[in-house]
Structure 1
Amino acid sequence: MIISVSGLLRRSQPSNIKEANGVIWKLCMMKLYSITSAGFTVSVGCFLVFIAYVHLTSQNVQFRSNEYKDVNQDLYDNEKIFSDFVKNINESIKRMDYDKEYTLKNMSQSGPRVAGNLNTEEEDDLHPLFLDVMKVSRLRQAQKHWLPDSRKHHDLNGYISLLHPNQSKLDLQCKTCSLVCSSGHLLHSKFGRRIDSADCVFRMNDAPSRGFSKDVGARTSLRMIGFQAVPNVLKNKDVLLMGSAKPRYLVMWGPDREMASNGTGKGYNHLKALAMMLEQQGTECFLLKEEEMAYNNRLYEAETGQNRAKSGSWLTTGWFTMILARSVCSEIHVYGMVGENYCKKEQGRKHPYHYYNLHSQDECEYYRFMERSFNGGHRFMTEKAIFASWAKLSPKIYFHQPEWD
């Protein structure tokens, strides 16, 4: 038994611990039949038991130490990574604070319209993804980091004739333009003659002029309609597209699935039937090409820092009308569009979303709802912030009813 323990002591490795413990247990449980004859043997055995226990315990501790060395190193590395992560976050926050201060400082010296209008209290009206939209756009203006094509669209090749794609082009050049919105703010404004006095008058979707000409005018040079408004335009074509309301051009925008010319695009099919009827009275129908839609998406992302599709938003018909107006007009007058901070300043004042529907939802309530929508919403206030940053560029943009600061 003593020899067995001695052998284990010479080759005691962590893998032998279980076997050695068994031997030690047997020594401790020996029955001492004769104290006189076996006294020396028992004494030596007990001494060896003690030595074996101490030695194997130290070996076990060393093994455990080696076993967890790598684990401890991993924990250290993870703690360092996390510490660096927190450090980077703190530095990013400091940079954001600096950018905000830098923006506010430079705004007072750069953009005439956007200077001093960065009110953080307005952020509760914005979608969480767009809290910094106005800051991004204004910072770019303060630093003059504008894309060359963000000032004015380069050409009209992005608009294609529905019936004569290889023959007709959108040929419209205007010195002054009236862009008429659909807001209830236009009611009782008596801006009709002023609107009609412009070289070109732009209207949108199914907003009529008949019955409201004193406030919104009677002439229509171009009507921009979104794919969702096509059914209403068809239903009210006599009011919107005939007689004194007849536009020279009808332009439609929509996603690829609606604008497909292979027979599957509902919007395309409806507009083609309408175009064949309107051609006889001198109205040409145009579509926004896929390349033009992509251009608008890129421009929106350049101004906001947000990808339109990934953010779950749709550009408005007002956006597409503004882009077209900036391409063909030397001076733009917008009627019935509230500013980016109007709804915050004028809480309690109610106006219908459409001047031709007094029972439509309150305009500001609808804007707030859409700005916070996570899927399929229009970013009305975000777009207005962008329009504000364009106002003093070329072409100049002026806003009426209400007047912008």
Structure 2
Amino acid sequence: MVSQRLKYQWVASITAVAVVTTLLVYRGSFGYRSYMPSPSSSSSSAQHSVGPVPTVKKQKIHAPLVGYTGLLDQKPLKMHCRTCALVTSSGQLIGGKRGEEIDQSECVIRTNNAPVVGYQQDVGNRTTLRIVAHSSLYRVLFRRQEMVISSQNTVFIFWGPNSSMRRDGKGHVYNKLRLLKDQLPKLKVYTVTPINMLKFDELFKNETGIDRRGSNSWLSTGWFSMVIAMEVCDQINVFGMVPPDFCRSSSRRSMPYHYYEPSGTNDCSLFLAHERSRRGRHRFIIEKRVFAKWAQTHDIRFYQPEWDPKAVVRMNSSSSSIPAGP
């Protein structure tokens, strides 16, 4: 009987040790901080401990963006930002001195070949993401030192038609990007997939009633940038984008279309010329109306100039809807 009792005690001791060991391993695997009590659930004894009791905020997991793939490995883009500054190329940024404000965002998005050097006071210094049209690749390469060699922490997303981006050796933009990647292996280059390109067209048609291909009009890099920003960012602060009715205002501050081309085309002259053309142009004003609409359901704010998207939507709904196209 004594030996049997000792046997049971020995088994019980081994079991207890195993349980304690398991708990210690489990606790060590997931980190000590996950067991720290929050102030709302702390016991009275915990409230008398020295120093504040830290709270642990759960990290939200964000899915990869499958419509944007790495140039060589074709892995989907993984990117998320709480706050984004979407910096346009607009001449409206000149003299605004928004650079410091722009750089305070978690992520800074720029487009095409818009430079930073020499314009930091107005447009900021940082670039997290640069979205580039196929037609602007050579302009980017023209400023290779600033935009490529010195920007290898920047994520680049290139978009373009399949004829330029195809991977079978016949896509001249893809071929150039591949050569660039060979020269700078650390460069973070992504392209918009052909299927996703079709989705951009479909979205434009659904929002405006205009068949982009049927009307032979072109989506702007601003369109791609806003859609991508809505996928990447929780809050979007847009700098330099004028409201859609801007060119009808007698008190407008007319500026060059690009801040880095001070003697270039006037912004309203370009917007109106494209809008009135029946074929082969951008639809800048129509796109801005859509952006104002999207700002009703997404956290999108406009600065330099500052304008209220709700007022634009109210005005459009009281007068007429977005035109059905040329």
Per-residue deviation at 1:180? 0.4
Aligned with residue 187 of structure 1, among 94, 102, 116: 94
Per-residue deviation at 1:316? 0.6
Equivalenced residues, count: 246
Aligned with residue 157 of structure 1, among 49, 66, 69: 66
Per-residue deviation at 1:246? 4.3
Per-residue deviation at 1:268? 1.1
- Name the SS of the counterpart of 2:300 in structure 1: strand
- Name the SS of the counterpart of 1:331 in structure 2: strand
Aligned with residue 165 of structure 2, among 259, 266, 283: 259
- Name the SS of the counterpart of 1:313 in structure 2: coil
1:360-399 matched pairs, under 5 angstroms: 360-394=264-298, 396-399=299-302
- The equivalent of 2:305 in structure 1 is 402
In 2, distance between residues paired with 1:185 and 1:301?
Answer: 29
Per-residue deviation at 1:190? 0.7
- Name the SS of the counterpart of 1:392 in structure 2: coil
Which residue identity is paired with 1:156?
L
- The RMSD of aligned alpha carbons is 1.5
Aligned with residue 250 of structure 1, among 156, 165, 177: 156
1:208 equivalent to 2:115? Answer: yes
Contact 1:220 1:246 in 2 (8 A): no
1:57-206 matched pairs, under 5 angstroms: 156-165=65-74, 168-206=75-113
- Deviation string 1:280-318 (CA, Å, 9 cap, x unpaired) is 3xx310110011011111111110111111111111111
- Deviation string 1:353-393 (CA, Å, 9 cap, x unpaired) is 11011111001100111112222200000000000001121
- The equivalent of 1:344 in structure 2 is 248
- The equivalent of 2:317 in structure 1 is none
Per-residue deviation at 1:351? 0.5
In 2, distance between residues paired with 1:360 and 1:319?
Answer: 22
- The equivalent of 1:315 in structure 2 is 219
User: Structure 1 residues 246, 155: closer, same or farther in 2, change over 3 A?
Assistant: closer
Structure number with higher helix proportion: 1
- Name the SS of the counterpart of 1:357 in structure 2: coil
- The equivalent of 2:36 in structure 1 is none
1:220 equivalent to 2:132? Answer: no
Contact 2:64 2:79 in 1 (8 A): no
- Name the SS of the counterpart of 1:157 in structure 2: strand
In 2, distance between residues paired with 1:251 and 1:160?
Answer: 9
Aligned with residue 142 of structure 2, among 235, 238, 244: 235
Give the percent of matched residue pairs that are identical in Structure 1 and Structure 2.
39
TM-score by length of 1: 0.59
- Name the SS of the counterpart of 1:257 in structure 2: helix
- The equivalent of 1:355 in structure 2 is 259
Aligned with residue 232 of structure 2, among 306, 324, 328: 328
Per-residue deviation at 1:255? 0.6
User: Structure 1 residues 197, 264: closer, same or farther in 2, change over 3 A?
Assistant: same
Per-residue deviation at 1:277? 2.8
Contact 1:223 1:247 in 2 (8 A): no
Per-residue deviation at 1:348? 6.6
Between 345-354 and 174-183, the greater mean CA deviation after superposition: 345-354
1:273 equivalent to 2:182? Answer: no
- Deviation string 1:258-283 (CA, Å, 9 cap, x unpaired) is 11111211111112222223323xx3
User: Structure 1 residues 204, 215: closer, same or farther in 2, change over 3 A?
Assistant: same
- Name the SS of the counterpart of 2:257 in structure 1: strand
In 2, distance between residues paired with 1:259 and 1:347?
Answer: 43
Q: Structure 1 residue runs of 4+, over 4 Å off?
A: none
TM-score by length of 2: 0.73
User: Structure 1 residues 157, 348: closer, same or farther in 2, change over 3 A?
Assistant: closer
- The equivalent of 1:298 in structure 2 is 202
